[in-house]
């Protein structure tokens, strides 16, 4: 599957490179700054994040009489040894994290968070992965002293999965609830294993999942933009959001990466040491067949991105539930012929 992804999307990328001559090569160099340039020096206690530019500082005033949290959380541990307790149930995870407010919201109790991040997870039939992700992600984010909420955007019905359309819906729904300064888009089966990988946005769109075990803890290809990415609402609007027409598996993340380039932005990345993830092994989902149209859409991305994206909200909310560890928003994303009741 990995080979299929890399080969099929790369093939398109090569085609596109030929079509748009060397500009594209220049793009790969400029935009996808190799992660090593963003080494994070943690030798000094209060290490700063080089390469992230001006990490957005909170505009939050000191409302509840609490001091602002430190620039660098003193709770960080660096690398995490990932373990999953046997017989873990969602109820046990809920009991473990009583400080998470219903709907999956958390704020530090002893200081005023500097950063406010919404985590948006596209989802269907991955309850086991979601449970494991929540088990690790809540303490991971709390150690970073963020004010955060977790939103699971669940596709209703059994028509082919459409990840990018769910993410568009997630942005609209999360932003209705709060003016989040940072939006993290997160595969449900990716567990971050270094808490120095701070879930805040930078001055350019961020690709956080740079070192996944499945790819040998390095980028599978320079233009790779999969797994976990982050945009400020402004950056998201600048690329006209995400494409709506990738039905099934493949290349929608490469399309999004191209949009960042077309919008003349760059991609920021953590170092390979910090941006490490473990992907929970999984087979192919039957409701997410390989998208046979993916290459055609990707080659057309340069003309298409301004026409197809957040400007076409193609979904309807079926239900919104504030569950103990996350807000579950079930949406109907229709089919390629339009919004019908979910099959
Ligand atoms: C890669 C990308 C992923 C996406 C996909 C192609 C990485 C780490 N991730 O993931 O971002 O571009 O290729 O589409 O390279 N999902 C469900 N239910 C389903 C199917 C998908 O919840 O039935 C969600 C879930 O959050 C999952 C994500 O969509 O993590 C991506 O799907 P995948 O994990 O099957 O794809 P994978 O691992 O090849
Ligand atoms: Mn996966």
pLDDT tens, residue by residue, 254-302? 999 999 999 999 999 999 999 999 999 999 999 999 999 999 999 999 9
Say yes or no to pLDDT of 22 above 80. Answer: no
How many CB atoms within 10 Å of residue 158? 12
Instruction: State mean pLDDT over 17-22.
Output: 49
Residue range 218-250, pLDDT digits in tens: 999 999 999 999 999 999 999 999 999 999 999
Residue with tokens 């999360």: 174
Ligand 1 pocket by C-beta < 6 Å: which residues?
Answer: 1, 5, 121-126, 161, 163, 187-190, 209, 212, 226-227, 249-250, 252-253, 279, 285, 287-288
The rounded distance, in Å, linking the Cα atoms of 111 and 290 is: 46
Element (H, E) at 148: strand 147-155
Distance 129 CA to ligand 2 centre (A): 10
Residue with tokens 């990995």: 2
The pTM of the full predicted model, rounded to 2 decimals, is: 0.87
The rounded distance, in Å, linking the Cα atoms of 305 and 307 is: 5
- Per CATH, the homologous superfamily of domain 2-40+87-332 is Spore Coat Polysaccharide Biosynthesis Protein SpsA; Chain A (3.90.550.10)
If you take atom 23 of ligand 1, which residue's CA is the nearest one? Answer: 285
Question: At 51, is the pLDDT very low, low, confident or very high (cuts 50, 70, 90)?
Answer: very low
For residue 297, which ligand has an atom nearest its CA? 1
Residue range 95-113, pLDDT digits in tens: 999 999 999 999 999 999 9
C-alpha distances (whole Å) from 339 to each of 158, 272, 309 are 14, 41, 16
- What share of the chain in percent tops pLDDT 90? 78
Distance 187 CA to ligand 2 centre (A): 7
Instruction: State mean pLDDT over 4-18.
Output: 56
Instruction: State mean pLDDT over 41-51.
Output: 31
C-alpha closest to that of 138 among 326, 293, 342, 333? 326
The rounded distance, in Å, linking the Cα atoms of 335 and 45 is: 51
Residue range 113-142, pLDDT digits in tens: 999 999 999 999 999 999 999 999 999 999
């Amino acid at each position: 599957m990995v080979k299929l992804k890399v080969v099929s999307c790369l093939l398109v990328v090569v085609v596109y490179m030929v079509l748009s001559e060397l500009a594209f090569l220049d793009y790969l160099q400029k935009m996808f700054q190799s992660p090593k340039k963003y080494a994070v020096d943690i030798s000094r206690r209060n290490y700063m994040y080089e390469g992230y530019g001006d990490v957005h500082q909170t505009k939050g005033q000191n409302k509840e009489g609490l001091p602002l949290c430190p620039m660098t959380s003193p709770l960080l541990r660096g690398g995490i040894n990932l373990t999953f307790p046997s017989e873990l149930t969602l109820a046990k995870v809920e009991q473990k994290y009583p400080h998470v407010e219903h709907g999956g919201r958390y704020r530090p109790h002893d200081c005023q968070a500097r950063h406010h991040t919404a985590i948006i997870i596209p989802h269907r039939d991955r309850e086991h992965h979601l449970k494991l992700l929540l088990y690790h992600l809540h303490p991971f984010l709390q150690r970073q002293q963020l004010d955060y909420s977790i939103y699971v955007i669940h596709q209703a019905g059994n028509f082919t999965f459409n990840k990018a359309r769910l993410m568009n819906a997630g942005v609209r729904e999360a932003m209705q609830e709060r003016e989040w300064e940072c939006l993290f888009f997160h595969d449900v089966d990716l567990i971050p294993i270094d808490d120095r990988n701070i879930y805040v946005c930078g001055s350019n769109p961020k690709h956080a999942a740079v070192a996944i075990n499945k790819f040998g803890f390095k980028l599978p290809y320079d233009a790779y933009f999969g797994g976990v990415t982050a945009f400020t609402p402004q950056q998201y609007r600048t690329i006209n959001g995400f494409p709506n027409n990738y039905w099934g598996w493949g290349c929608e993340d490469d399309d999004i990466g191209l949009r960042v380039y077309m919008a003349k932005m760059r991609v920021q990345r953590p170092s390979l040491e910090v941006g490490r993830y473990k992907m929970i092994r999984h087979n192919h989902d039957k409701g997410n067949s390989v998208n046979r149209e993916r290459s055609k859409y990707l080659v057309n991305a340069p003309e298409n991105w301004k026409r197809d994206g957040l400007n076409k909200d193609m979904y309807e909310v079926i239900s919104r539930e504030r569950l103990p560890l996350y807000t579950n928003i079930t949406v109907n994303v229709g089919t390629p012929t339009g919004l019908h009741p979910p099959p």
